[in-house]
Structure formats: C-alpha cells, structure tokens
Amino acid sequence: MERPAWAPRSIDISVPSVSRIYDFYLGGSHNFEVDREAARRAMAHLPGLPKIMQANRAVMRRAVRYAVGTGIDQFLDIGSGIPTFGNVHEVAQEAHPGARVVYVDHDPVAVAHSNAVLAGNEDADVVAADLRKPQEILSSPQVERLIDLNRPVALLLVAILHFVEDADDPYGAVAQLRDALAPGSLLVLTHASYEGIPLPAERAEGAVDVYKDIRNPLIMRSRDEIARFFEGYDMVEPGLVPMPHWRPESAPEDEDPYAFSGFAGVGIAA
C-alpha cells in the first residue's frame, strides 16, 4: 500500500483508526481501505452510522455557535479527530473572529492533519495528548499559549467518551478538566447509546463488536450514565436529549431515525 504524503511515517497504515473511520463516515478523503473495510463491516450491522456521525457534527456546530452567543471565545476540543469541513475553529472564528481553539487528539494522523489545516492560523493549534491524562493537556504549551483558564472556556467532548472504558475512569478525567475551568465554562458532550437506535440492541451490538475487533472498544452508556459526566454543571435547556432535539435549527421529525442514536447536552460550570 502506497503511503500518501499526509500520513506520518510513524503510523501503521495497515491498522484501522477510529478517527479515519469517522472521516470516512463524514465523506472525508483521509482514510485507507483498511478503515473503509472496518466501517463497512460496522455498517452491515448499523447502516445508519454515517447519519449518527453527521448528527454529532451538527450538534457540535450548534453548540459552538451557542457558546459564542454566551460570550465564550476560547474552545478546547478533546478527541477532535481529523478536521473536516465545518470544524470547531471554522464555526467559532466565523462567529467570533479571534476566537481561540485548541484541538487535542492522540491519533498521529489526526494531529498531522490538524497541523496542516491550521498552518497560518495564529488562533488555533493542536496537542498530541490523551483525554485519560488531563494534566498533560492542561499543561501543554499550546493550551498555555492560547487558552486563559481564568476565563470561561467551552470544553468539547464530542463522540469521544464512548471510546473510554470504565476501567480508565472517564468520570475522573472529566471531573479533573471541570475543576481546571473557570466558572461559566461550558461542557459540550455527545455520547453513543443503545437508547434511541432504531434497531434491536442485539443487532447494533454487531457494530460495537467491530470496534472491539480493531482494539477500540465502543462503550454504549445509558442516559443516566451519560448524565453523570455533568456533575458540577448546571444543564442548559433542553438538558440531555437525543442529538436532533438539542436546540434544533430544523424540525427534528425531519431527521433520519438514526440521528437519534445518542445523547447531547451542554452544561455550565457553577
């Protein structure tokens, strides 16, 4: 397999990557046949996966515009993936020129891509780090340069926590990040769940098994388990809801049924 110029030498391009699979679902071009093959296997069980990913991106964009509307001009996007059209920095900087954005991902492909996309953008940067190690993120030079933790920040955890197993203490990581943020900061979160998937859970489990096979377990949590991530936050209306119901810009009933597979919420740090 020929290595394209955008793929860092350090990565094994024969192994599927969650961020490249996500890129494929979104119609991007930064994925390999190994990623597309894994995506197609998952879609054989859960054909609406691209619709679910698109719903995640759409709610992220609405939440970024909401954050700008409340006066927030700095964004920390953890588990940001490969930047595709309509990413956080584009939405935020269009709504508020000068808004500052730091992306965080542990996938070298996502980091290499983000660096390429952000070249020349003084108000955006990327950190190679892992959500499970919040201190490394918070003390990184990129965060120290662009993010003032004494002022409100929008922390985005979009479609990332369902890749963190309970054994790795995702609740502890989210609490550490919360404790580092100024009052008035926002937590923007989306998370996969069997609740809302328009298929029997046994069938959807086939897609979950594909992620397990590529050593990236997909952890489906209940609404109550997802709500626990918001401890220490006051929920913004309409609360923790299926993605199309979070401050929709068009009628939720017009959405694809798969778009309701997962929850979205925004909380304000007290």
pLDDT mean over 234-247: 98
Confidence band, pLDDT 50/70/90 cuts, at residue 1:
low
Q: Which residues pair with 268 in a beta bridge?
A: 186, 234
CA-to-CA dists, residue 160 to 4, 98, 121, 228, angstroms? 26, 26, 25, 15
pLDDT digits (tens, 9 = 90+) for 139-164: 999 999 999 999 999 999 999 999 99
The whole-number pLDDT of residue 3 equals: 80
Q: Which residues, 6+ apart, have CB-to-CB distance to 8 below 8 Å?
A: 108, 109, 112
The whole-number pLDDT of residue 38 equals: 97
pLDDT digits (tens, 9 = 90+) for 40-72: 999 999 999 999 999 999 999 999 999 999 999
Cα(229)–Cα(232) distance, integer angstroms: 9
Q: Which of 98-102, 106-110, 142-146 has the lowest mean pLDDT?
A: 106-110
pLDDT digits (tens, 9 = 90+) for 179-211: 999 999 999 999 999 999 999 999 999 999 999
The whole-number pLDDT of residue 146 equals: 98
User: How high does pLDDT run on average in the chain?
Assistant: 95
Q: Where along the chain do its domains lie?
A: 52-199+221-269
Confidence band, pLDDT 50/70/90 cuts, at residue 11:
confident
CATH code at 52-199+221-269:
3.40.50.150
The phi-psi region of residue 139 (left if phi > 0; otherwise alpha if psi is between -120 and 50; otherwise beta) is alpha
